[in-house]
Structure 1
Amino acid sequence: MSAKDLPEMNQPGDSMAADSGTESSPNREEVAQADGKPENGAGGSETAGGDPGESVDALKQALQQKENEIGELTDRLQRLAAEYDNFRKRTSREKEKLYSDSLCDVVSRFLPVVDNLERAVSAASETGDGKSLQEGINMIFRQMTDILEKMGVKPIEAVGKTFDPELHNAVMHVEDENYGAGEIVEEFQKGYIYKDQTVIRHSMVKVAN
């Protein structure tokens, strides 16, 4: 057999060289990433920012401005609250006075009726006639006085009391040693007072000494 008839055999070294030649070599980008370095070999530049001190000063200024605004609004609110409270109290007093004046005016219109009933009761008692009439008038008189009392109106005490110009109207004067100075000895017309404060009508009285 001649040498030409033998199959051509590759040497081991030649095969390995061929295989290594076919492998792609790593590019520079992959190498750079493996090394942790950017491709261009230059580090990232820092971004220039504003001055931190200026930012803090601006925030402080804005905060102070808001605090001033809050203070002004709080002061305004307090003034409004005080004005409203004064208005409420003043309105309440005016309302109470209006009611008191109106009530006294109404009651004063009933007083002549009360006076007439009282006189009728007194006359019937003196004559002794008309017992049923007397009882009826007494009942009406009690009803009227009860109504007045429920409204806060009651008679002013007079006989036996010391004369008080705030409550009594002296129409007669008598000298009598049996009575003290300024003592009321007789009442001609009853006076009435509302809630022990407002005199609706003064008592018409006779005063001793």
Structure 2
Amino acid sequence: MSEQNEKNVEKKEAAAPEAADQAQEAVQPQEEQAESPNPLLEELETLKKNLSDQEDKYLRLAAEYDNYRRRSQKEKESAWADSKAETAAAFLPVYDNLERALKQETADEAFKKGVEMTMTQLKEILAKLGIEEIPALGETFDPNLHNAVMHVEDESAGENTIVDVFQAGFKSGDKVIRFAMVKVAN
């Protein structure tokens, strides 16, 4: 029996490492499962991240479009203001000529009345476009609005006072279309 016991012990010792290996292999998948999360959880996390990225892209695109819309609106307004100013500037020589014609003495009252009506109509059109004459006569000289072409010493007038207007100036809002050409005292 002792021989047989020895053989059994040897078989058990030889089988023990195999059994230990099998037991360890059986434990390892359980450990791997515990360490690696469920594939559905991984997919959920991936989808959450993708959704977050898409929301971020959407918000950025919306902000970019809003900026584009504002910029386009400003460009349109600027283009409108510039074209309005250029158009008005083209009509200013007509305004000047009508103003000179009104200053001339004439015996023909119908002619004078016609020129006055034409000048009134031109002023109304300029007013509708938001173009106004820059006040000058008797005002204090402002280099942002007036162009001084002459200087005169006059004790009756105050310092930097405009005493004569050679050519009317016009502006549209804050934009000067044409500076008023003036004579300044003192």
> Is TM-score (shorter-chain normalized) higher than 0.5?
yes
How far apart are residue 58 of structure 1 and its match? 2.7
AA aligned opposite 1:207: V
Structure with bigger gyration radius: 1
Give the structure 2 partner of residue 197 of structure 1.
Answer: 174
CA–CA distance in structure 2, aligned partners of residues 121 and 159 of structure 1: 18
In the alignment, structure 1 segments of 5+ residues that lack a partner are 1-50
CA–CA distance in structure 1, aligned partners of residues 114 and 99 of structure 2: 12
Identity across aligned pairs (percent)? Answer: 44
Give the structure 1 partner of residue 185 of structure 2.
Answer: 208
Superimposed CA distance per residue, residues 91-132 of structure 1 (whole angstroms, 9 cap, x where no aligned partner): 111111111111111111111111111111111xxx351111
**1:110 equivalenced with 2:110 (yes/no):** no
Q: Say which structure is richer in helix.
A: 2
60-69 or 145-154, which deviates more: 60-69
CA RMSD in angstroms, aligned pairs only: 1.8
**1:164 equivalenced with 2:142 (yes/no):** yes
CA–CA distance in structure 2, aligned partners of residues 71 and 110 of structure 1: 59
- Report how many residues are paired: 154
How far apart are residue 60 of structure 1 and its match? 2.2
Superimposed CA distance per residue, residues 3-60 of structure 1 (whole angstroms, 9 cap, x where no aligned partner): xxxxxxxxxxxxxxxxxxxxxxxxxxxxxxxxxxxxxxxxxxxxxxxx9x87x83332
Superimposed CA distance per residue, residues 122-178 of structure 1 (whole angstroms, 9 cap, x where no aligned partner): 11xxx3511111111101100010001001111100011111111100000111121
Which structure is higher in RCO with an 8 Å CA cutoff and minimum separation 6?
A: 2
SS at match of 1:166: coil
TM-score normalised per structure 2: 0.77
**1:177 equivalenced with 2:155 (yes/no):** yes
**1:148 equivalenced with 2:126 (yes/no):** yes
Give the structure 2 partner of residue 139 of structure 1.
Answer: 117
In the alignment, structure 2 segments of 5+ residues that lack a partner are 1-29
CA–CA distance in structure 1, aligned partners of residues 178 and 106 of structure 2: 31
Pairing of 1:4-153 with structure 2 (within 5 A) = 57-123=38-104, 127-153=105-131
